[in-house]
A and B are shown apart, each in its own frame.
Chain A
Amino acid sequence: MTHIELRGVQKWFGAVQVIKDLNLTIEDGEFIVMLGQSGCGKTTTLRAIAGLETIDEGDILIDGKPVQHLKCSARDIAMVFQSFSLYPHMTVYENIAFPLRATGMGKSGIDEAVRAIAKVLRITELLDRRPSALSGGDMQRVAIGRALVRHPKAMLMDEPIGALDAKLREEMRAEIKRLHVKQGSTTIYVTHDQVEAMSLADRIVIMHEGVLQQVGAPEEVYQQPQNLFVAQFVGSPVMNVSPAIVRSEGADVSVAIDAAVPGFAFPPELLGKLNGHAGSGALKLGIRPEAVLVSRQPQPGYVPVVAHIIEPLGSHDIVDLKVGAEILRARTPSGFVPKAGEAVHARVDPAQAHFFDTSSGKSLGVRL
């Protein structure tokens, strides 16, 4: 049982506050991914949990006990570094055995544990090699093996596959997921790659400038982003965000993203759900590319637009549509819009539209 809790954690580097009043609870066996841009404080938070960094205020609790004043060694937490940090003068075997030897475990016990973990990670035949003779993926496996071998209370990973090439990254991602399913250790994983986060996490923690933005399951942060930052950080291609002008003529409600063009049709409930924000003019419409529907023929509810740029991605295309002065990115089947400059028609799916308050960036929580 491992239960990690952060309560009101604050951390300054000189005059810069890198962690701002962070509260987070991590349950036993959970795979948590901390997501954010570089410099958002996610790595610092991870290092603070590991004990490599002190915190200025707040508590870090492991199994209910405050540990912020304890050294790393007393916290019994393992960590995998982005640079792998393998000991260059030791063989793979010695590297994995290091944490066991350091705590004075018996020889036969060490051998058994090292061979068992090597088998799980499929690196048995590499045990006699030195790290310098390993490929990036194998180095990563060794680093994970070294972390897992002593059955730590929790496993921290700081962008563990950030240094690998794209193909290997994908492979290692699956491997990490497989390992987590098999070993079930509580894991906190730091990354700036939202694809990694979405594919690995039980829950994603999104941070920005030291402030926790949203915590939730991958579907949740994708479908119900609480603010503009989360909305634009999660998902690829990025969510379209444009100023929204809500118009109502009789029973028809439409939302335009440029004053000069007709708006997209929305159900009339929108007015009520916007709760008076409709007329304020301080609204933003967020719409993911897959919620922008494109048609080549005019259809009721569709607005005429011009295809601006087409990015063919094989499985689908990303088409930049010019709506007045605004650009709306849409996801279409590949080859759907034959060439740039083509006049097409578009509409947005009201069920997948998000409305944000421009000044605070907060989602208005409108679900249609």
Chain B
Amino acid sequence: MTTLTMTTLDPRSRAARRGLSDLSIRNLFIIPTIIFLIVFNIFPLLYSLGYSFTDFRASSNAPANFVGLDNYRTLLNDPFIWSNFAITAKYVIVSVTGQVIVGFGVALLLNREIPFKGLITTLLLLPMMLSMAVVGLFWKLLYDPSFGIINYAFGLGRFEWLSNPDMALYAVALTDIWMWSPFVMLLSLAGLSAVPKHLYEAAAIDRAGPIYTFFRITLPLVAPILMIAIIFRTMEAFKTFDLAYILTSQPTTEVISIRLYKMAFQEWQTGMSCALAYIVLIMVIAITNIYVKYLNKVKER
């Protein structure tokens, strides 16, 4: 049952004197947003769906020919695309796991009475507020083998973070972890402070040790909100582009969105890239759905 709460327009108001009704005011607010959404989101989405069934190239004047599911067939049979997906999956797992461990860990440390707690929390949130491009550029400097501060600080000599093909993806993931752990921390902190204190007292009375309490009380009760953080971060990591693109151009860091970008704007295979974009979209929705299902199961109790 939904209850409609809409107050009627005061007839003495300025708006009413100008001949506006409740309905026209509502439309005035909503219609621009809807138009914006249609023009910039829904229309391209549908338009690209059409292109994904053609061999259209935006760089030529040749007319687009309908090729059916050919684009999808080609892409799904392309081992290079699959290796891009494998790289993306590896990146998502490393980066999200890292963010959850670091973010949740820091949240656990902050979830107590400490001096300057507010200040510390705000400072820890700073990375999240920076622009991706800026983060990419200055981490490139930090990683620099000859003058980078990371090698200097850890005494790694001339260790090559970004030009070493085996290391580059982890270096990108590390930057992502640095940037987005605060996000997980923020949500975890909200979840942790929502766990009633008396449950911890009950657990202490029940003679549960700290580790048992953590795994049987804290974690299950924070799980729903932690899950939301994981959903957000997985979606973002799956679509990651800026960081990987700016930091390095190794083939081992060619995540799916970089492949997509190259296909669309360097090779001008517009139709094919639309098909790939749809494959990525379907995958992201599928993965998110798995999480959402699990989240609902967790929330039931």
Report which A residues bind B (CB closer than 8 A). 50-52, 71-73, 76-79, 81, 83, 85-89, 98-99, 101-103, 130, 146-147, 150
Contact = CB atoms under 8 A, between A and B. Distances in A.
Given A89-B220, A130-B301, A99 B207 contact: yes
B301 A89 contact: yes
Given A73-B207, A88-B301, A102-B207, A52 B221 contact: no
B117 interface: no
Interface in B185-208: 196, 198-199, 201-208
A79 B205 contact: yes
Given A89-B301, A102-B212, A78 B202 contact: no
29 contacts: A50-B205, A52-B204, A71-B204, A72-B207, A73-B204, A73-B207, A73-B208, A73-B209, A76-B207, A77-B205, A79-B202, A81-B198, A81-B202, A83-B196, A83-B198, A85-B196, A85-B202, A86-B202, A87-B199, A87-B202, A89-B221, A89-B301, A99-B207, A99-B208, A101-B212, A101-B216, A146-B206, A147-B205, A150-B207
Given A76-B207, A98-B216, 9 more contacts: A79-B205, A81-B198, A83-B196, A86-B202, A99-B207, A99-B208, A102-B206, A102-B207, A102-B208
Point out which of A77, A89, A98 has the most chain B C-beta atoms below 10 A from its C-beta: A89
B235 interface: no
B205 A102 contact: no
**Contact-residue bracket for chain B:** 10 to 19
B258 interface: no
Nearest to A94: B216
B201 A102 contact: no
Nearest to B207: A73
A81 B199 CA distance: 10
Nearest to A149: B206
B217 interface: yes
Closest 9 CB pairs of A and B: A102-B208, A99-B206, A85-B202, A73-B207, A72-B204, A85-B198, A79-B205, A89-B220, A89-B301
Interface in B164-191: none
B226 to A, nearest CB: 13
Contacts of A79: 202, 205
Contacts of A88: 221, 301
A98 B198 CA distance: 15
Point out which of B199, B204, B207, B217 has the most chain A C-beta atoms below 10 A from its C-beta: B207
Contacts of B196: 83, 85
A126 to B, nearest CB: 16
B90 to A, nearest CB: 33
B217 A102 contact: no
A130 B208 CA distance: 20
A78 B202 CA distance: 9
B301 A51 contact: no
A43 to B, nearest CB: 12
Nearest to A52: B201
Contacts of A85: 196, 198-199, 201-202
A83 B217 CA distance: 17
A185 to B, nearest CB: 15
A102 B214 CA distance: 12
Contacts of A101: 212, 216
Contacts of A51: 204
Contacts of A71: 204
Nearest to B219: A89
B207 A103 contact: yes
Nearest to B213: A102
A72 B205 contact: yes
B205 A87 contact: no
B299 to A, nearest CB: 10
B203 A102 contact: yes
B220 to A, nearest CB: 5
Contacts of B201: 52, 81, 85
A84 to B, nearest CB: 9
A142 B193 CA distance: 26
A150 B208 CA distance: 13
B300 to A, nearest CB: 9
Contacts of B202: 79, 81, 85-87
B32 to A, nearest CB: 44
A102 B217 CA distance: 11
B59 to A, nearest CB: 57
B200 to A, nearest CB: 9
B205 A52 contact: yes
Nearest to B202: A85
B204 A87 contact: no
B79 to A, nearest CB: 45
Interface string B266-282: 00000000000000000
Point out which of A79, A83, A98, A146 has the most chain B C-beta atoms below 10 A from its C-beta: A98
A48 to B, nearest CB: 13
A87 B198 CA distance: 10
Given A52-B201, A85-B202, A88-B301, A98 B220 contact: no
B217 A87 contact: yes
A147 B205 CA distance: 9
A103 B208 CA distance: 7
Contacts of A87: 199, 202, 216-217
B107 to A, nearest CB: 19
A186 to B, nearest CB: 15
A283 B206 CA distance: 51
Interface in B211-248: 212, 216-217, 220-221
Point out which of A85, A88, A146, A150 has the most chain B C-beta atoms below 10 A from its C-beta: A85
Contacts of B206: 78, 98-99, 102, 146
